[in-house]
Amino acid sequence: MDVAEQIASGLAGTGEVDGSQFLTFLLAGEEYGVDILRVQEIKGWNAVTPIPNTPEYIRGVINLRGTIVPIVDLRRRFGLEPMEYGPMTVVIVLKVMREDKSRVMGIVVDAVSDVYNVQDESLKPAPDFGSVVNVDFVQGLATVDETMVIILDIDHLLNSGELAVMDSAIEHE
Amino acid sequence: MSIDMEQFKATFIEESLEGLDIMEAVLLEMQPGTADAEEVDNIFRAAHSIKGGSATFGFSDISNFTHVVETLLDQVRAGEREVTQEAINLFLSSVDCIRDMLAGAQEGFEINLEQVAEVKAGLDRMLGSASQATVPAEIEPEATDGSPAASGWKIVFKPFPDMLRSGNDVVRLFRELADMGEMVPKVELEGLPALVDMEPEEACLSWEVTLNGSIGREQVDEVFEWVDGDCELSITPLGDEKALEDMPADKLSTAVEVSSTPVQAAPLVEERRSNNDRRQGDRRKNRSSSENSSIRVGIDKVDALINLVGELVITQSMLGQLGEDFSMDKVERLKDGLAELERNTRELQENVMSIRMLPISFAFNRFPRMVHDLCGKLEKKIELKMSGEQTELDKTVMEKIGDPLVHLVRNAVDHGIETPEVRIKAGKSETGTVHLNAYHQGGNILIEISDDGAGLNRDRILAKAIERGLANNGDNLSDAEIFDFLFQPGFSTADVVSDVSGRGVGMDVVKRNITALGGAIDVESRPGNGSTFTIRLPLTLAILDGQLVRVGEQTFIIPLVSIIESLQVESSRVNAIAGSAELYKLRDDYLPIIRLYDAFGLKPDSASLEDGLLVVVEGHGQQAGLLVDDLLAQQQVVIKSLETNFKKVGGISGATILGDGTVALIVDIGGIIELSQNGRKCANSAAA
């Protein structure tokens, strides 16, 4: 709840909004941001129901007021060392667009950090690391108070890999 | 004050479409040569309301067209015209035309006027070819109201003083008369009061009108239909010598009789009036009975209700779980739960369960017409039998099953039933039968489409399957397995069944639609005796009776309908083929064992068969034993889609929310059997 209040006060304090607002969260010491308009809610970690025969990073599904919502562990998705879930572990529920359809998904992150205003023009493209790091999911890099925030392209991220096959799977039915 | 005409228009169109459905249904029942008075009345009434309504809303195309239909029908009703097959077909195409025109009026798009014109020409021709051809010469005098075309009419029209108050407009009547032919009106001023006494809303004039031209009596009657009872009216044909000369000889007797008995006209009017009254009475009666037998419900309302029921079920299972091990510290939760239950119940009550499931006749209704048309096209004689039309089915399922059913019925008519010659040669009756049947069985509805045609050609299907690499030459396949090839995508057995197309075209789509609804389709066929397609569908897509089972730490739900029995494993009955494929001997059958923890990659309590329970299930026509750790409760669960926010997962048909708020996955029996077979195949091929 503290987190939510923090964000609420953050929102209230900003007053007039220039550019876009991003909710940032921590993951293995780095700060990542997602478009705040896509954030449906933030909730603590609760037990999930695992789905058989899906990759490790899809933790399972939860019941979000009657809707079945899949939960993706972002650490595992990025191939980072998995961390024990603790009291600070949060699930950010996001609205993900795919063509004209929207889906609701949750991502597990270490902790929620802050809300920033970022001018669109100050968003720098991520440098190309070639095959070393896949930067496809990165919408851009922003600098806030001398720290780097990685702005994620969640539509791309949560529609790729194992998550992407959903439509084709239905077609094959 | 402005009235929203659009709203009435929508109602009119809806009602008209219903009327058309009635017309169609009755027409299809009708046998040439025997017109049941009640049947004709039904059609006539429907046509009449459409005509009236369309004129009111300014759809002159429709009203003009329907007018011709109505005129013909009126003659049939009066017994002046025999009902021929040709006439029935013509009426059916008129129904189509009116339906098209209504759709056009509704959507505001241009309709195919050519077709309409063609049908109208046909109607006009039939009307023109005159009832005389079929009317026996010695008709009774009453029939005069149907006899068309005296060369003119003399109309004496005396409105009662209060006629104008009922909203009738004399000017409109005269305009209509003037449209028909040359009109010579003569006004009678006798009744005109002095200016001081004049009431502006009172009719005080009367007219004598001479109408020249070959106009049907009905047409004249029609103009005055609305003022019937509000005026004194006498309509007499003009006894014109010229007209008699012009008439064909066979008409003469009628015409002479008419003109020679002008005195009869007055009582005739009376008689018509009383007839009219009686008819209106009938109409009212009929309408009330038809309102009782059908309902029209917006799907959003149905969905809202289903949602409510869903919530109720969730609450109920929550309370159930709470009650199982209740202690005083949970009393708050119990109160919450009860409050929730009360709210749910109230909301449900408000929405009223009056919105029921719909009888399957909604889906069946289109078939008589379709079969009738196909028979004409294919020159076959087919009787369509339907039974169990009142079997009720969820509306969403109904909507999705429509197209597959059409496909199957088409197939049965097109390829199943042979031509009359072939049938006679095969020693069968000339007329083939297609039977549609629906009934409930357990939590399912079963729909059977059977024909008594030639049946499926097992050998040719097998040959085709081998040719396409779906089967091997040496395979020993059961009939069911062979017929299952029909549902393979693109599996056309065109040369097997007919030259145009064969069973199997689009059958994969049929199967896919049915599977998507959680149903299954089976084929049975005996050579020479026809084939039966059986569709098995869940009654509803929203709620399912489930058996909760535990595998390791997880709870899964197995649909109760697919469970045959559950038993403890006796290790002596377990056999393993090549060390991997385990079989369980159950009475005379060998069931493959699927270890659920294996299929889902979970950690079980114990890997030993004896410690678990075997749930014998059937899916996709195959049986298997699912090994689970424990059987838990049985309860109704609300099916939630995984695909909304995620994707389809093999072996899982959906998810549900248990009483404690956690998610449990519903096992897709057909899917899990398939999955384990594929897994085995993979393992086999890896080993080989």
pLDDT digits (tens, 9 = 90+) for B114-125: 777 777 777 777
User: For B378-420, how does the pLDDT look when each residue is reduced to its tens digit (9 = 90+)?
Assistant: 888 888 888 888 777 776 677 778 888 888 888 888 878 888 8
Is the minimum CB–CB distance between B542 and chain A shorter than 8 Å? no
DSSP per position, B31-77:
BTTB--HHHHHHHHHHHHHHHHHHHHTT-HHHHHHHHHHHHHHHHHH
- For B671, nearest residue in chain A (alpha carbons): A173
Sign of the CA dihedral running B99, B105, B109, B114: positive
| CA trace torsion B97, B98, B104, B106 (10° rounding) | -160
Count of domains forming chain A: 1
Residue type, A98: R
Beta carbons of A51 and B665 less than 8 Å apart? yes
H helical segments located in B474-583: 479-484, 494-497, 507-516
Listed range (A98-102, B175-179, B349-353, B578-582) with the worst mean pLDDT: B349-353
Which pLDDT score is estimated for A6?
A: 56
User: For B244-260, how does the pLDDT look when each residue is reduced to its tens digit (9 = 90+)?
Assistant: 444 444 444 443 343 33
Residue type, B428: K
Residue B284 pLDDT > 60, yes or no? no
- For A103, nearest residue in chain B (alpha carbons): B645
User: B5-132: which CATH architecture?
Assistant: Up-down Bundle (1.20)
> d(Cα B235, Cα B216) in Å, to the nearest integer?
12
Minimal CA separation from A97 to chain B, in Å:
11
Residue B56 pLDDT > 80, yes or no? no
Q: CA-CA distances (angstroms) from residue B255 to B69, B81, B215, B260, B357?
A: 24, 17, 14, 8, 58
Say if domain B543-687 classifies as CATH 3.40.50.740.
no
Helix axes B395-411, B507-516, angle to 10 degrees: 160
Active site residue B70: yes
A90 and A42 Cβ atoms separated by less than 8 Å: yes
B475 and B431 Cβ atoms separated by less than 8 Å: no
Which pLDDT score is estimated for B303?
A: 83
Which pLDDT score is estimated for A42?
A: 92
Provide the domain limits for residue A141: 2-172
Sheet holding A90-98, edge to edge: A39-44, A90-98, A101-109, A67-73, A58-64
pLDDT mean over B84-102: 81
Tell me the domain boundaries of chain B: 5-132, 143-282, 299-356, 359-538, 543-687
Which pLDDT score is estimated for B466?
A: 83
| B25: number of Cβ within 10 Å | 16
A42 and A112 Cβ atoms separated by less than 8 Å: yes
Beta carbons of B655 and A69 less than 8 Å apart? no
pLDDT mean over B629-639: 84
Which pLDDT score is estimated for A133?
A: 63
User: For B181-233, how does the pLDDT look when each residue is reduced to its tens digit (9 = 90+)?
Assistant: 777 777 777 777 777 777 777 777 777 877 777 777 777 777 777 676 677 77
Which pLDDT score is estimated for A93?
A: 93
> d(Cα B269, Cα B275) in Å, to the nearest integer?
10
Beta carbons of A51 and B661 less than 8 Å apart? no
Which pLDDT score is estimated for B135?
A: 37
Low-confidence ranges of chain A (pLDDT < 70): 1-18, 129-135, 160-173
Which residue numbers of A have CB closer than 8 Å to B's CBs? 47-54, 60-63, 66-70, 103-105, 163, 165-167, 169-170, 173
- The enclosing domain of A51 has a CATH number of 2.40.50.180
Beta carbons of A68 and B640 less than 8 Å apart? yes
> d(Cα B431, Cα A149) in Å, to the nearest integer?
79
Active site residue B48: yes
Which pLDDT score is estimated for A164?
A: 55
ipTM for the complex shown: 0.76
Closest C-alpha among B444, B664, B670, B674 to residue B557: B664
User: B359-538: which CATH architecture?
Assistant: 2-Layer Sandwich (3.30)
